[in-house]
Amino acid sequence: MRLLVTNIATLVCDRLARPRLQGREMGELETLDDAYLMADDGEVSEFGLMADLPTEGIRADVTIDAKGGMVLPSWCDPHTHIVYAGSREGEFVDKIRGLSYAEIARRGGGILNSADLLHSLTEDELYEQSMVRALEIMGKGTGCVEIKSGYGLNTADELKMLRVIRRIRESVPMHVSATFLGAHAVGRNYTKPQYMDLLLNEMIPEVGREQLAEFIDVFCDEGFFTPEETARILEAGAKWGMRPKIHADELAASGGVKVAIDHGALSVDHLERITDGEIDMLRNSAVMPTGLPGTSFFLNLPYAPLRKMIDAGCAVAIASDYNPGSTPSGDMKFAVSLACIKMRLLPAEAINAATINAACAMGQSGSFGSIAVGKRANFYVTRPLPSIDFIPYAYTTSIISRIVLNGQPV
Ligand code: NIG
Ligand code: FE
């Protein structure tokens, strides 16, 4: 099947196909004006200037006339919790009245509240509720997404979540990666030692045996899991081939960055309270630091210092963190705007953070995250826009006119 897109005012393309961009490189966004783009059997096969498109001889099964719109690579969202039950707007109001996220968690709300709700749903009900969000983010331009478990907090419910993630992967044309986050909180009715035992000796082996997760995550933060506990959990996951992606430095400087580096994590995420020493460590590591600007926006937390990190020579990614407690939004365009407005990233840097580097944070930058020959043809066509900078500037304006995933219009 061949797809041809014509009359593209500006194509955001990637001839160098670098696996990630670091420091100064993050400001580079290759573009081609007045372009066409072709995909064969789901992969980008060719792009070039409209002037060089042979007027005869190119046969396509589907042709999209971009009519002067732009074409950008689909967003990659490397950190979400979109499989959850119900919603938590009660806590939203509590927070407006003055309670902090950490206080709500200490009182037994927060993640445990979502675990109770999830326990009461059948697998089918959980799938139905979660698919609404999967389709929502797809409609907003996401083409590759990571989804975590972590609202089960007992073996049966964690497995239920991971099976739902697998079912979503089979139902949508987005690429879906699954992460086991049993260590999101200590489940109700367990002490910490009992829960650690359950994680290490029951949950991880079950998840591994059923091959339900590519990645393993731990909420390594004050009041949740310590760096020592995190290391033990990651080592248990590694025995089953699960690569780490870690939550760290959200509520306090947690020591999670060092654990992430020592264990070859794909990414270390949140980083609202990252220290200068940790920035130094990350600069020379393969771990992708991932900021979650929507979380800082929603919880009124400090923003992760991504500007400082890029200036220090780091690569950075951004993700939505879509979840019911700290970020009830999976809108990657809005995350890009927040990265510009609140973290002082330039539009090109924020777009790279949400595409190629975000794909790298999922180990997927060879196939996703940019429009390069041989990569998956995942992109969207915009309506005519004055410039690329307009995208984060118009921070609630929708810009998408067509979405193409795997070379097929959706
Ligand atoms: O990434 N910080 C930990 N986990 C989620 C929030 C989970 C929740 O509150 O439901 C996050 O922000
Ligand atoms: Fe998260």
pLDDT in the model for residue 108: 79
Nearest C-alpha to atom 12 of ligand 1 is from which residue?
A: 326
For the chain, give every domain's residue range. Answer: 2-73+371-409, 75-360
Which atom in ligand 1 lies closest to the alpha carbon of residue 105?
9
Pocket flag, ligand 1, residue 326 (CB < 6 Å): yes
How many whole angstroms separate alpha carbon 253 and alpha carbon 264?
20
179, 148 in Cβ contact below 8 A?
yes
pLDDT of residue 63 exceeding 80, the answer is yes
pLDDT in the model for residue 109: 84
More confident: 106 or 81? 81
pLDDT in the model for residue 376: 98
Residues around the ion ligand 2 (C-beta < 5 A): 321
Pocket flag, ligand 1, residue 110 (CB < 6 Å): yes
316-345 per-position pLDDT tens digit: 999 999 999 999 999 999 999 999 999 999
Tokens (6 digits) for 142 = 């996401």
Pocket flag, ligand 1, residue 293 (CB < 6 Å): no
Which atom in ligand 1 lies closest to the alpha carbon of residue 269?
1
Q: Which CATH number fits domain 75-360: 3.40.50.300, 3.10.129.10, 3.20.20.140, 3.40.190.10?
A: 3.20.20.140
Average model confidence (pLDDT) across the chain = 97
Which atom in ligand 1 lies closest to the alpha carbon of residue 110?
9
- What's the pLDDT band for 129 if we cut at 50, 70, 90? very high
Nearest ligand to the C-alpha atom of residue 153? 1
Nearest C-alpha to atom 1 of ligand 1 is from which residue?
A: 321
* Cα 322 to ligand 2 centre (Å): 8
Which atom in ligand 1 lies closest to the alpha carbon of residue 114?
10
244-283 per-position pLDDT tens digit: 999 999 999 989 999 999 999 999 999 999 999 999 999 9
- What's the pLDDT band for 57 if we cut at 50, 70, 90? low
Query: Beta strands of 139-287 (E only): which ranges?
Result: 142-148, 175-183, 215-220, 243-248, 267-270
240-255 per-position pLDDT tens digit: 999 999 999 999 998 9
* Cα 23 to ligand 1 centre (Å): 28
Report pTM: 0.97
Which atom in ligand 1 lies closest to the alpha carbon of residue 324?
10
What interhelical angle do 155-171 and 123-139 show, nearest 10? 40
Cα–Cα distances (Å) from 196 to 116, 209, 216, 231, 261, in that order, read: 20, 19, 14, 12, 22
Pocket flag, ligand 1, residue 250 (CB < 6 Å): yes
* DSSP-assigned states of every residue in 225-238: --HHHHHHHHHHHH
* Cα 74 to ligand 2 centre (Å): 21
* Cα 48 to ligand 2 centre (Å): 39
Which atom in ligand 1 lies closest to the alpha carbon of residue 221?
2
Tokens 């045996």 found at: 209
* pLDDT above 90: percentage of residues in the chain: 96
Nearest C-alpha to atom 5 of ligand 1 is from which residue?
A: 326
Nearest C-alpha to atom 3 of ligand 1 is from which residue?
A: 219
- What's the pLDDT band for 402 if we cut at 50, 70, 90? very high
How many whole angstroms separate alpha carbon 7 and alpha carbon 114?
47
Q: What is the CATH number of domain 2-73+371-409?
A: 2.30.40.10
Nearest C-alpha to atom 9 of ligand 1 is from which residue?
A: 325
